[in-house]
Amino acid sequence: SVYREGKDQFIVFVSTIFGVLATDLLKGLAIGIGVRIVIHFIRGGSIFRLNAKIIPERDQSVTIFLRGSIINSSWIPLQKHLNRFFKEGTRVTLDITETKLMDRRVMAKVDEWAKKFKENGLELTVRARMTSIDE
């Protein structure tokens, strides 16, 4: 089941298990977190900064272009943008074609926001390129 999430998640899972078995629980978790951070750096992403460019369109909508890695720590700034546009009643296109990695939990949160937009008569569209999860 963990392997189906992707190679990166599998590597983090296995390194955490080995870390826990080789040391103790706290050190094992720290090893897993460290491995996850290293993977994000290898993928070319900033861990704490959202690389986003917001472009207003002529039809009173906005496009948010995202680049790099979009992970849990960069979710908060993205959520602030989505919340602002939601309150303003603005249609949003989230362009993730330039991202190297988008965390599955962040994608689930974006899906929740898309449902929230739709329930209120607004639109949140995600533009992505189709690739495999392990690419």
pLDDT tens digits along 86-123: 999 999 999 999 887 787 888 999 999 999 999 999 99
pLDDT at 133 (0 to 100): 47
Residue 134 above 70 pLDDT? no
For range 50-78, the mean pLDDT: 88
Q: Which residues lie closer than 8 Å to 55 by C-beta, 6 or more apart? A: 62, 63, 64, 65
Integer CA distances (angstroms), 82 to 33, 51, 53, 64, 93, in order: 28, 15, 13, 9, 10
Q: In this predicted structure, what is the pLDDT of residue 63?
A: 95
Q: Are residues 19 and 62 in the same domain?
A: no
Residue range 46-54: mean pLDDT, rounded:
79
Assigned token pair, 86: 């939601």
10 and 27, same structural domain? Answer: yes
Residue 129 to residue 131: CA distance in whole angstroms: 6
Please report the pLDDT score of residue 108 as a whole number.
92
Residue 134 lies in a domain: no
Q: Tokens 């993730």 — which residue?
A: 96
Q: Is residue 85 part of a domain?
A: yes
Is the pLDDT at 76 greater than 60, yes or no?
yes
Instruction: Supply the pLDDT for residue 93.
Output: 95
Mean pLDDT of the chain: 85
Residue 32 has pLDDT above 50, yes or no: yes
pLDDT at 44: 63
Question: Residue 27's domain spans which residues?
Answer: 3-42
pTM of the model: 0.68
List the CATH number of the domain containing 87: 3.30.750.24
What average pLDDT does this structure show over 53-64?
Answer: 91
| Same domain for 116 and 78 | yes
Crossing angle, helix 72-88 and helix 104-119, to 10 degrees? 10
CA distance 85 to 93: 11
Residues 95, 31 share a domain: no
Domain shared by 88 and 109, yes or no: yes
Same domain, 27 and 65: no
